[in-house]
Amino acid sequence: EVQLVESGGGLVQPGGSLRLSCAASGFTFSASSMSWVRQAPGQGLEWVSAITPGSETTYYADSVRGRFTVSRDNSRNTLFLQIDSLRADDTAVYYCAKGGFYDHWGQGTLVTVSS
Amino acid sequence: EIVLTQSPGTLSLSPGEGATLSCRASQSVSSGLFAWYQQKPGQAPRLLLYGTSNRATGIPDRFIGSGSGTDFTLTISRLEPEDFAVYYCHQIERSPRTFGQGTKMEIK
């Protein structure tokens, strides 16, 4: 059974940093592209970032480029999102998702940016 | 950036009726690079259709996707109570990948 479990969210002050993790199991993680998608409270889905299976290429939404960094550790079956210079409008549930089309999603981790 | 515009914003229907949801792209999207997702309150989204018309695992055949270029459609025949949710279209043709703003389907 495919499982994606996010962690690392929490309350952080504007300008702060967090590192989100997504632990994957039940599939060949090293062969799958992975993505992060976020959803602000009461809002729609916003694609954030993606990474190819071997970390050759990373992709970012304009709203996060330069502040967010996606990475992965295929030996630990884990996806990461380093988020720096956090702003209030980064407040959202952050989901990790598997594949080019997201056939599996985690349950999400909530990031709240507030002073 | 490819902007996806969904219509209508809200659809009020009764169980047993059919539904048609539209998604228009600001630039042409290859059919193989287009998808639909369903999201229920408090849950993560679920993949419904990928490559425009291919149903994901476990998706019933009342969900039908069609379209090409800049116009895509999700048709749901014979609505079941569990179909009332928010639906999002999505393209992976070009980075940044984008989602539509969503269509909320509610019980009339």
Which residues of B lie closer than 8 Å to A, measured between beta carbons? Answer: 1, 35, 37, 39, 44-47, 50-51, 56-57, 86, 88, 90, 92, 95-102
Q: How far apart are CA A43 and CA B79, in angstroms?
A: 24
CB contact under 8 A, A103 and B100: no
Is the Cα torsion angle A20, A26, A32, A38 positive or negative in sign? negative
Which residues of A lie closer than 8 Å to B, measured between beta carbons? Answer: 35, 37, 44-47, 50, 59-62, 95, 100-103, 105-108
Q: Which two tokens stand for residue A102?
A: 């997201």
Q: What is the pLDDT of residues A63-114, one digit of tens each?
A: 999 999 999 999 999 999 999 999 999 999 999 999 989 999 999 999 999 9
Strand-pair category, A78-83 with A18-25: antiparallel
Rounded (10°) CA dihedral A103, A108, A60, A45 = 80
* A75 touches A16 (CB < 8 A): no
Cβ partners under 8 Å of residue A109, min gap 6: A6, A7, A8, A9, A20, A93, A94
* B101 touches B60 (CB < 8 A): no
Residue B11's pLDDT is: 96
**Smallest Cβ distance to B47: which of A61, A62, A101?**
A101
Residue B13's pLDDT is: 96
Q: How far apart are CA B8 and CA B23, in angstroms?
A: 9
Give the chain A residue nearest B34 (alpha carbons). A101
Residue B33's pLDDT is: 97
Q: Which two tokens stand for residue A15?
A: 């300008």
- Does residue A33 come out as left (phi exceeding 0), alpha (psi in the -120 to 50 range) or beta? beta
Q: Which two tokens stand for residue A2?
A: 């495919």
Residue A81's pLDDT is: 98
CB-hemisphere CA count at 13 Å for B8? 8
Q: What is the pLDDT of residues A30-65, one digit of tens each?
A: 999 999 999 999 999 999 999 999 999 999 999 999
Please list the rounded mean pLDDT of every run of 10 residues in chain B (108 residues): 96 96 97 97 97 96 97 96 97 95 96
Q: How far apart are CA A79 and CA A7, in angstroms?
A: 10
Q: What is the pLDDT of residues A18-33, one digit of tens each?
A: 999 999 999 999 999 9
